[in-house]
Structure 1
Amino acid sequence: MNPTLRDAVVGAWELVSFVARDETTGEDRQPLGTAPRGLILYTADGHMSAQLAEADMSGYVAYGGRFSADEDTSTLHHDVTVSMMPELLAQPQFRHASVDGDLLTLSASRTDDTGARTRSTLVWRRATPATEL
C-alpha cells in the first residue's frame, strides 16, 4: 500500500532548486540563485518549518506553523503562524506536492498587484538522517 501524501512528506528535506516562471512570458528566474540553500521539516504531529536562503545566506526567508494534506488534490496546506514575510501570515498557503523517491516537489502560483502570474517550483531532496552523519 502506498503511503499517504501526509506520511510521505514527514521528515527533513534539503532544497535542491527554486525556479519561478512568469506564466505570461514563460521566463524562468531563480530567486535564490543557482545554488539555493534550504531546509523544510514536516513533523508527524502536524507541524512544519521552512528556511530558505541564497548560497551566501543572504535573502534569508523563514516561516513555520501547522500543516495538513489534501490527499484528493495532492495539496499541502501550510497554516503559517510565524514568518519573516508578513504576507504569508495573511492567508493559508497551499502547495501542490508530489513525492518521487527521495525528491519532494512543491509548487504554487501567485498573482501580483499588476496581474502578473508566477508559478514557483521548489524541489527538495530527503535529508540524510542525523544518525548517518
Structure 2
Amino acid sequence: MTSLKNELLGTWKLLSYIEVPIGGDDSLFPMGKNPYGLLMYSPDGFMSVQISREERLPYASNDKLQPSQDEMLSSLQGYIAFCGKFKVDNSSAIVSYMIKSSLFPNWKNKVQRRKIDFEGDILYLKSTEPILSNGQYVNSYMTWQKTDRVLDDFQERIRKVYQVQS
C-alpha cells in the first residue's frame, strides 16, 4: 500500500483555486480565474506553495524595494506564499502544514490542514477549517496537476537553448 505522503511528493501545478463562503454566497476566485501556482513536497517533509494572480502590476521602477502604493497593493493582494514542514495522516487523508514562513505574517507558526483526494495525476485539496478571506469565512478548494511531464518539457527547452548557444 502506497502512503499518501509518497503520492504527494514532487511538484504540482495549480489548475484552479476557488473559495466558497460558508454563508452560502457565490464562489470566489481570489487570484482570478487563471492563477499560476506551484506546490512542492520534498521527501524530507518540507513543503512550499506559491500562488499568483495573473494580472499583478509590474513595478515601474524595476526595483523590488521601490514599488508605488498601487504596485505594492497589487503585489501583496495577488500573491500567496508559505513554506514549512508537512505531515500526512493516511487514515483521515489530511495533510497538515506547520508554517514557518509566509507572505501573510499571521500564518507564521500556525498549522493549516487540507483534505487530500487524488484522481490520476490530479490532486484535490480542500481546507478542513474555514479561513478569513476578504472579510468573510470561506473554505478553499484547489486543484493541482503533477508536473513530471511539464518538467521534462522544460528540460528539453533548456537543452535546446544550450545547443543553440554552443
Scaled by the length of structure 2, the TM-score of the pair is: 0.72
Structure 1 distance, partners of 2:113, 2:11, is 19
Asked if 1:131 corresponds to 2:130, the answer is: no
Give the drift of 1:118.
1.2
Unaligned stretches of 5+ in structure 2?
57-74, 155-166
Q: How has the CA–CA distance of structure 1 residues 77 and 50 changed in structure 2, closer, same or farther, with 3 Å as cutoff? A: same
Report the alpha carbon displacement of residue 100 of structure 1 after superposing the two structures with TM. 1.5
The within-5 A match list for 1:30-109 is 30-57=29-56, 58=75, 59-108=78-127, 109=129
Indicate the SS of the match to 1:29. Answer: coil
Q: Which has the higher strand share?
A: 1
For structure 1, which runs of at least 5 residues remain unmatched after alignment? none
Q: 1:119 aligns with which of 139, 145, 151?
A: 139
Percent identity among equivalent residues? 27
Cα distance, 1:23 vs structure 2: 2.0
Quote the Cα distance in structure 1 between the aligned partners of 2:14 and 2:153.
Answer: 19
Out of 47-56 and 81-90, give the one that drifted further.
81-90
Instruction: Give the 3-state SS of the residue equivalent to 2:44 in structure 1.
Output: coil
Determine if contact 2:95/2:115 at 8 Å carries over to the other structure.
yes
More helix by share: 2
Matched positions, count: 131
Structure with larger Rg: 2
- CA deviation digits over 1:72-101, x for unaligned, max 9? 111101011111111211421111111211
Secondary structure, in 3 states, of the residue corresponding to 1:55?
coil
C-alpha contact (below 8 Å) 1:13/1:41 kept by paired residues: yes
Cα contact 2:14–2:38 (8 A) shared by 1: yes
**Distance of 2:31 and 2:125 partners within structure 1:** 16
TM-score, normalised by the number of residues in structure 1: 0.88
Higher relative contact order (CA 8 A, sep 6+): 1
Please provide the CA RMSD for this pair: 2.0
